[in-house]
């Protein structure tokens, strides 16, 4: 098994901008299929890793981590090698100017989002937030050269490089939600088969950032899970963020208390984690968790669904920060759940 | 029916925390129906086999309320709303937590009612500090405005939550007439209607009915400053034509009106220009089904004093029974 940090880094290096997740198939399969009994792409939009406990008709636990990441899409190619673009998922416009990006055309090319120098700005211009459709990416190519490589509709992602901070902290692009994907993979890879009380289906699903009802929905009709845990990122506390809307980084994952999540399943997860001595925080998402859980719980004739999230700061930027100890703790939660008799009782 | 209503009102069931109420209703329904089960989302699904068409009637168990987000240093409880809360109606009312703890819902001092929103409110449970408050109330606990039931003049009553416990009471009372049913009848007591008509969707997916009929409350046009609307309190069972979430099946609506006339049940047509009910989610579950809805005309919906005419509720009850026993 790879080290947690290394697994996350490798997952982050795989481009999977919303709408282009299909491009990840080969790289992802090579990286993670050894950890599962089977690994396949479900038609509706999810990579599915299965680990079976070996008993017939065992209950099925689905662990969903969306695999798509925010990014952009090429909308036009201009004279001088400039590209117009639109968003795939929710971008923070404040961080765009001078950002480094990769354009995933016939080959991967580098670009920088244009930024007007302060000297040339009109009075008060810096106070205004530029609209996305006014922004351009400078590629350095001529229009003719660029058109040979890039077409309208190609995907764009932020510069892909993870970096280590002090201790267990790492930062980079697409930690949302590759770090949670890593937790799910880690759990399946390291759980002892003899102790499992269910079959595990890890879904690395598509299109969460655009529709929040992504591929996990379609995949669930095929898997028909008896229970599901959606794992996604949540807001880490930092100065200026209220306590009630954030959790502490490095203090373990958080369960969501919400009308959209199943209270019985959630309470069982809390008591299992407490019993196993795993640190678990709580978040309150009154009616909507803002994750795949909101759609998943209503699939078919209903799936008891809980949310286990990981604190992340600088969300939806190219330097999302997480703590790998939270990922490992989340994986422990999943393993404890998969090995418990009570969950499906 | 009203005896049921009084009991149901006492059992708190904020969206997502309906289990206790489901178990109570299940206990009653088992006396009259063959199969009663609680599905993965928490819906109570009760089935009485019959020869005719498959009819599903649905009343939602959940009520609007609040969920604790955090407790501050002064021991005040902060919260988020669950469902459509009118904070003008909620300000300074007494609230009750699931564990029986009581408190008062208080806006920031000097706050104008135009600026009312959840972040500006706290619940004062009488705790002297954070430590004491946290012993009584935890993050994620749900609570609601205190329940009540008051008789007004004549056949009118007010209280909360009438929405939608009156409909649960109607179905429970209808179940007592189960011997008369000709059709294959399922009563669904659904969860999470108030937060996006969620529970009924999976229940309908499971049951695959031919016809789906939701029972819920609707607004009226005869209140103080009401929007123009043909529905009136005391005007009878309201047969829904449409609301902003659904257009009911024309043939089923006609049939419902016909059955009501045959049985001399007082009814009125309902066109609601806002709001939605489980009708919409039932219509679009699985491959879809024909839907209609029977509504209890209600004034002051989502306040502590939702007001109905019990004669209307009685008419709704009679219409449910009439549909269950009529060949469709």
Name the percent of chain A lying above pLDDT 90.
83
Q: What is the mean pLDDT of residues A281-306?
A: 92
The residue of B16, B117, B123, B197 whose CB has the most chain A CBs within 10 angstroms, and thus the best one to mutate to test that interface, is B16
Q: How many domains does chain B have?
A: 2
What was the pLDDT predicted at B85? 94
Please name every residue paired with B271 in a beta bridge, in sequence order, or none if there are none. B242
The reply to whether residue B196 touches residue A286, judged by beta carbons under 8 angstroms, is no
Query: What pLDDT, on the 0 to 100 scale, is given for residue B247?
Result: 94
Write out residues in chain B with pLDDT < 50, as ranges.
none
Are B52 and B199 in the same domain? yes
Cross-chain CB nearest to B69 (options A226, A262, A284) = A284
Across A303-328, average pLDDT: 96
Note the helical H segments in A140-214.
143-149, 175-190, 208-211
Catalytic status, residue B257: no
DSSP code per residue over B62-86: -B-EEEEEEE-TTSPEEEEEES---
pLDDT digits (tens, 9 = 90+) for B84-120: 999 999 999 999 999 999 999 999 999 999 999 999 9
pLDDT for the residue numbered B171: 98
CB of A133 closer than 8 Å to CB of A73: no
Give A4-69+174-344's CATH code, choosing from 3.40.630.10, 3.30.1490.20, 3.40.50.720, 3.10.180.10. 3.40.630.10
Q: What's the average model confidence in pLDDT over A291-295?
A: 92
Beta-carbon separation of B203 and A304 below 8 A: no
Report how far residue A240's alpha carbon sits from residue A234's, in angstroms, rounded to the nearest whole number.
Answer: 16
Residue B151 lies in a domain: no
In a domain, B167, yes or no: yes
Contact (CB<8Å) A282/B139: yes
At residue A212, what are phi and psi to the nearest 5 degrees? 60, 10
Reported as a single tens digit per residue, the pLDDT across B159-173 is 999 999 999 999 999
Residues of B in contact with A309 (CB under 8 A): none
- Are B232 and B202 found together in one domain? yes
Q: List, for residues A42-75, the tens digit of each pLDDT value.
A: 988 999 999 999 999 999 999 999 999 999 999 9
Every domain of chain A and the residues it spans: 4-69+174-344, 71-158
Query: Would you call B68 and A288 a contact, using CB atoms and an 8 Å cutoff?
Result: no
* Residue A14, pLDDT above cutoff 90: yes
Q: Rounding to the nearest 10 degrees, give the CA dihedral for residues A117, A120, A123, A128.
A: -40
Question: Does ipTM exceed 0.85?
Answer: no
Query: In chain A, what percentage of residues exceed pLDDT 70?
Result: 100
Pairing mode, strands A137-138 and A82-88: antiparallel
Q: What is the CATH number of domain A71-158?
A: 2.40.30.40
CB atoms inside a 10 Å sphere around CB B227: 11
Q: Which of B111, B145, B179 is the last residue of a domain?
A: B145
Please identify, among B77, B110, B145, the residue that sits at the C-terminal boundary of a domain: B145
Query: Same domain, yes or no, for B114 and B220?
Result: no
Tell me the nearest-neighbour CA distance from A263 into chain B, angstroms.
Answer: 7
**Around Cβ A79, how many Cβ atoms within 10 Å?**
8
Whether residues B215 and B94 share a domain: the answer is: no
Q: Report the residue of B69, B76, B78, B143 to disrupt the A interface, i.e. the one with the largest count of A CBs within 10 Å.
A: B69
Q: Over the stretch A243-278, which tens digit does the pLDDT of each residue have? A: 888 999 999 999 999 998 999 999 999 999 999 999
Question: What does the block give as tokens for B298?
Answer: 């209600």
B14/B160 Cα distance (integer angstroms): 12
Q: What angle do CA B113, B116, B119 make, to 5 degrees?
A: 155
Tell me whether residue B284 is in a domain: yes
Do B167 and B47 fall within a single domain? yes
Residue B238: Cβ-neighbour burial (10 angstroms; 0-12, 13-18, 19+): buried
pLDDT in tens, A19-42: 999 999 999 999 999 999 999 999
What's the CATH code of the domain at B128? 2.40.30.40
pLDDT of residue A126: 82
Contact of B175 with B14, CB cutoff 8 Å: no
A-chain residue closest to B196, CA distance: A287
Do B106 and B246 sit in the same domain of this protein?
no
How much is the pTM?
Answer: 0.84
Contacts with A254 (C-beta within 8 Å, 6 or more apart), sequence order: A234, A247, A280, A281, A282, A283, A308, A309, A310, A311
Using a CB-CB distance cutoff of 8 angstroms, which residues of chain B are in contact with residue A261?
16
Q: H or E segment at B215?
A: strand B211-218
Q: Cα separation of A229 and A183, whole Å?
A: 12
Number of CB pairs, chain A paired with chain B, less than 8 A apart: 80
Kindly state whether residues B301 and B197 are assigned to the same domain. yes
Q: What pLDDT score was predicted for residue B302?
A: 95
Q: What is the pLDDT of residues A85-119, one digit of tens each?
A: 999 999 999 999 999 999 999 999 999 999 888 88
pLDDT for the residue numbered A44: 81
Q: Which domain holds residue B128?
A: 65-145
Q: Are residues B84 and B208 in the same domain?
A: no
Q: With beta carbons less than 8 A apart as the criterion, state whether B204 and B285 touch.
A: yes
On whether residue B312 sits in a domain, the answer given is yes
> In Å, how far is B140's CA from the nearest CA of chain A?
5
Taking residues A295-309, what's their average pLDDT?
Answer: 94
Q: Which of A248, A260, A298, A303 to mutate to test the interface with B (most CBs of B within 10 A)?
A: A298
Q: Which residue of A has its CA nearest to B141?
A: A257
The verdict on residue B154 lying in a domain is: no
Give the domain CATH number at B46.
3.40.630.10
- Distance, CA of A294 to CA of A306 (rounded, Å): 10
Is there a contact between A287 and B206 if contact means CB atoms under 8 Å apart? no
Boundary (domain end) residue, out of B85, B118, B145: B145
The DSSP result for B96-123, as a single string, is EETTS-EEEEEEPTT--GGG--GGGEEE
Residue B79 and residue B57 in one domain: no
Question: Distance between CA atoms of B229 and B270, rounded to whole angstroms?
Answer: 8
Q: What is the model's pLDDT at position A345?
A: 80
State the catalytic residue, choosing from B28, B63, B193, B270: B193
Give the model's pLDDT for residue B199.
Answer: 95
In a domain, B254, yes or no: yes
**Least Cα separation, residue A13 to chain B (angstroms):** 36
Mean pLDDT over each residue of chain A, to the nearest integer: 94
Whether the per-residue pLDDT at A213 is higher than 70: the answer is: no
Residues B218 and B93 in one domain: no
């Amino acid at each position: 098994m790879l080290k947690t940090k290394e697994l996350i880094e490798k997952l982050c290096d795989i481009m999977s901008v919303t709408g282009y997740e299909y491009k990840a198939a080969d790289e992802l399969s090579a990286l993670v299929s050894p950890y599962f009994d089977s690994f396949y792409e479900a038609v509706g939009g999810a990579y599915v890793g299965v680990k079976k406990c070996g008993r017939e008709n065992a209950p099925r636990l689905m662990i969903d981590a969306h695999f798509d990441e925010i990014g952009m899409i090429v909308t036009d190619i201009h004279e001088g090698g400039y590209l117009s673009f639109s968003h795939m998922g929710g971008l923070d416009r404040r961080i765009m100017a001078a950002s480094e990006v990769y354009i995933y055309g016939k080959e991967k090319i580098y670009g920088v989002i244009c930024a007007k120098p302060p000297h040339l700005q009109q009075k008060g211009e810096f106070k205004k937030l530029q609209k996305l459709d006014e922004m351009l990416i400078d590629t350095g190519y001529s229009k003719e050269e660029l058109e040979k490589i890039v077409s309208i509709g190609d995907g764009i992602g932020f510069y892909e490089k993870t970096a280590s901070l002090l201790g267990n902290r790492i930062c980079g692009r697409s930690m949302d939600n590759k770090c949670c994907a890593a937790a799910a993979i880690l759990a399946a890879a390291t759980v002892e088969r003899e102790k499992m009380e269910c079959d595990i289906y890890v879904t690395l699903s598509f299109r969460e950032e655009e529709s929040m009802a992504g591929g996990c929905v379609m995949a669930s009709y095929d898997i028909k899970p008896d229970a599901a845990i959606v794992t996604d990122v949540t807001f880490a506390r930092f100065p200026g963020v209220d306590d009630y809307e954030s959790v502490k980084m490095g203090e373990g994952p958080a369960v969501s208390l919400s009308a959209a999540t199943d209270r019985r399943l959630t309470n069982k997860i809390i008591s299992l984690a407490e019993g196993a001595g795993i640190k678990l925080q709580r978040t309150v998402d009154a009616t909507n968790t803002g994750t795949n859980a909101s759609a998943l719980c209503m699939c078919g004739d209903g799936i008891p669904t809980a949310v286990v999230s990981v604190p992340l700061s600088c969300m939806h930027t190219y330097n999302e920060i997480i703590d790998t100890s939270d990922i490992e703790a989340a994986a422990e939660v999943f393993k404890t759940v998969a090995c418990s008799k009570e969950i499906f009782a | 029916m009203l005896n049921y209503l009084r009991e149901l009102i006492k059992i708190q069931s904020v969206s997502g925390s309906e289990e206790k109420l489901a178990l109570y209703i299940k206990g009653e329904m088992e006396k009259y129906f063959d199969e009663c089960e609680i599905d993965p989302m928490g819906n109570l699904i009760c089935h009485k086999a019959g020869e005719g068409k498959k009819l599903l009637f649905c009343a939602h168990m959940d009520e609007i309320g609040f969920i604790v987000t955090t407790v501050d240093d002064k021991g005040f409880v902060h919260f988020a709303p669950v469902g459509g809360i009118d904070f003008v109606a909620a300000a300074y009312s007494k609230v009750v937590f699931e564990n029986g703890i009581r408190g008062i819902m208080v806006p920031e001092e000097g706050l104008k009612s135009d600026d009312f929103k959840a972040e500006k409110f706290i619940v004062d449970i009488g705790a002297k500090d954070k430590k004491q408050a946290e012993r009584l109330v935890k993050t994620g606990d749900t609570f609601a405005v205190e329940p009540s039931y008051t008789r007004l003049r004549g056949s009118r009553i007010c209280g909360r939550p009438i929405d939608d416990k009156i409909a649960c009471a109607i179905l429970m009372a209808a179940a007592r007439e189960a011997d008369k049913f000709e059709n294959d009848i399922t009563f669904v007591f659904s969860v999470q209607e108030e937060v996006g008509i969620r529970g009924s969707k999976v229940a309908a997916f499971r049951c695959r009915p031919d016809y789906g009929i939701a029972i819920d409350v609707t607004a009226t046009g005869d209140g103080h400053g009401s929007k123009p609307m043909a529905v009136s309190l005391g005007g009878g069972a309201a047969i829904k034509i449409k609301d902003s979430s659904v257009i009911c099946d024309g043939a089923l609506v006609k049939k419902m009106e016909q059955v009501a006339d045959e049985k001399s049940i007082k009814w009125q047509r309902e066109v609601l220009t806002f709001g939605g009910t489980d009708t919409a989610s039932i219509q679009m579950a699985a491959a879809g089904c024909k839907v209609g809805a029977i509504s209890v005309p209600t004034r002051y919906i989502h306040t502590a004093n939702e007001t109905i005419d019990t004669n209307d509720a009685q008419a709704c009850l009679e219409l449910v029974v009439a549909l269950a026993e009529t060949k469709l």
